[in-house]
A and B are shown apart, each in its own frame.
Chain A
Amino acid sequence: MMIEAPGGLSEYINHHLKNLTIHFGGGSFWTVQLDTLGVSVVIGVALSALLWACAHRATSGVPSRGQAFVELLVEFVDGQVKDVFHGDTRLLGPLALTIFVWVLLMNLMDVMPLDVIPYLMGLAGAEHFRAVPTSELNTTFAMSLTVLILTIFYSFKAKGASGYMKEIFTVPFGPWLAPFNLLMNLIELLSKPLSLSMRLFGNMYAGELLFMLIAGLLGAGSTILFGLGVFGYLAWGIFELLIIVIQAFIFMVLSVVYIAMAQQHH
């Protein structure tokens, strides 16, 4: 797939950084990004169906390959959660599994050939299409805000309303500096989802952008640059695979750590 858009590399990149959107009402507030939503929902539903089917067909005898793989996955995530959090993991375990596998699969859309999905969607009539949901700030912020809400919920649950309020107003410097304590605690609370989502978004966005730049080398029209492009695509693809897994792992572990920290008494 070569560069199709006229106007060279930066036109090509700008074309690929636009979402397939639909507007509701006036203004730009109700702009729905159909590609981000669609891809993430399709991946989520397919993933749930797959895991459900594996769990449904599970036997205590000799496991099939699929069952063995899912068991490995569940045990890995469960082990990570139990390392960090010693308590009731009935919600945290499935939450961590969902985050890990979902983010991993959404990130994996990044190593799909860059132009294939936009091209196929273009045949179906979509002008712009971005295939990687996590290289979009909305997705990562939605996920990290969910983690923030759970953090607050578990703080209330573990300490009670009065205990949590007492902690918020008195913890770092004692009751005489209550407004300052509140400010510090709010900053601490809000910086968590911010860094969580920016980390994932930045990694995936940079990965996508680098793939586009390398794709620009492929279309540059000289044999040497083409060879360099193929090599670069391969090298960056392998490195990106590592980044994808690490970022999904980090998102999961940090979410669990934040929720576990919320339940500790100071």
Chain B
Amino acid sequence: METLQQIIGNIQAFTAIGAGLMVGLGALGACIGMGVMGSKFLEAAGRQPELMPVLQSRMFLLVGLIDASFIISLAIGLFFAFSNPLLQAVVKAAH
């Protein structure tokens, strides 16, 4: 028979791993994507500097698009790290 502490500890451990994976893998993907796009932008701007203003606004649009999925996963990861709804269910059931 597991005690309440063990159950809570289990949930916290898994949540920490999950939140870490969400934030870390999200950041990895977003950084690779942003790096590829940034290098291509610099290359293109070096070849045709007169296209710079057009490319720049497109690049910032894509920065936001790439950033968004990472930041959403960051928000949900942080939400799970600081007010864990799964844990609250256990605490509520214990009372």
Interface residues of A (CB under 8 A from B): 9-10, 13-14, 17, 80, 198-199, 202-203, 205-206, 209-210, 213, 243, 246-247, 249-250, 253
CB contacts (< 8 Å) of A206 on chain B: these are 71-72, 74-75, 78
For the complex, give the distance between the alpha carbons of A108 and B64 in Å.
16
Residue in A198, A209, A249 whose Cβ sees the most chain B Cβ within 10 Å: A209
Main secondary structure of the interface of A (DSSP, over half): helix
Q: Does B65 contact A (CB under 8 A)?
A: yes
Check if B55 is an interface residue, CB within 8 A of chain A: no
**A203 interface neighbour in B60, B61, B71, B82, Cβ under 8 Å:** B71
The answer to whether B78 touches A249 (Cβ under 8 A) is no
Nearest-CB distance from B1 to chain A (Å)?
Answer: 28
Residues of A within 8 A of B71 (CB): 202-203, 206, 243
Using a Cβ–Cβ cut-off of 8 Å, how many residues does chain B contribute to the interface with A?
A: 17
Knowing A199-B72, A202-B71, A203-B71 are in contact, say whether A209-B64 is a contact too (CB < 8 A).
Answer: no
Question: Could you list 14 further interchain pairs (A-B, Cβ under 8 angstroms) beyond the known A80-B57, A205-B79?
Answer: A9-B82, A13-B82, A14-B83, A198-B72, A199-B65, A199-B72, A202-B76, A203-B68, A209-B75, A209-B78, A246-B63, A247-B64, A250-B64, A250-B68
> How far is A202 from B75 in the complex, measured between Cα atoms in Å?
6
Please state if A246 and B64 are interface contacts (CB–CB under 8 Å). yes
Can you list 23 contacts pairing A with B, beta carbon distance less than 8 Å?
Answer: A9-B82, A10-B82, A13-B83, A14-B83, A198-B68, A202-B71, A202-B72, A202-B74, A202-B75, A203-B72, A203-B75, A205-B75, A206-B74, A209-B78, A209-B79, A209-B82, A210-B78, A246-B63, A246-B64, A247-B64, A250-B61, A250-B64, A250-B65
Q: Which residues of B contact A (CB under 8 A)?
A: 57, 60-61, 63-65, 67-68, 71-72, 74-76, 78-79, 82-83
Task: List the 8 closest A-B pairs by CB distance, nearest first.
Answer: A202-B72, A206-B75, A199-B68, A250-B64, A246-B64, A205-B75, A206-B71, A206-B74
A198-B72, A210-B78, A249-B61 given; A203·B67 CB < 8 A = yes
Minimum C-beta distance from A246 to chain B (A): 4
Query: Which residues on B sit within 8 Å (CB–CB) of A250?
Result: 61, 64-65, 68
Q: Chain A CB within 10 Å — which of B63, B64, B71 has the most?
A: B64
Residue from A9, A205, A210, A243 in contact with B67 in the complex, judged by beta carbons closer than 8 Å: A243
| Contacting residues, chain B, for A17 (C-beta < 8 A) | 83
A9, B67: Cα distance in complex, Å:
27
Closest to B73 in A: A202
User: How distant is A191 from chain B, measured CB to nearest CB, in Å?
Assistant: 13
A235 to B52, CA, bound (A): 28
For B64, the chain A residues whose CB sits under 8 A away are 199, 243, 246-247, 249-250
Residues on A with beta carbons closer than 8 Å to the beta carbon of B65: 199, 250
A202 to chain B, nearest CB (A): 3
In this complex, what residue of A is CB-closest to B76?
Answer: A202
The residue on A at minimum CB distance from B54 is: A83
> In whole angstroms, what is the CA distance A91 to B72 when docked?
31
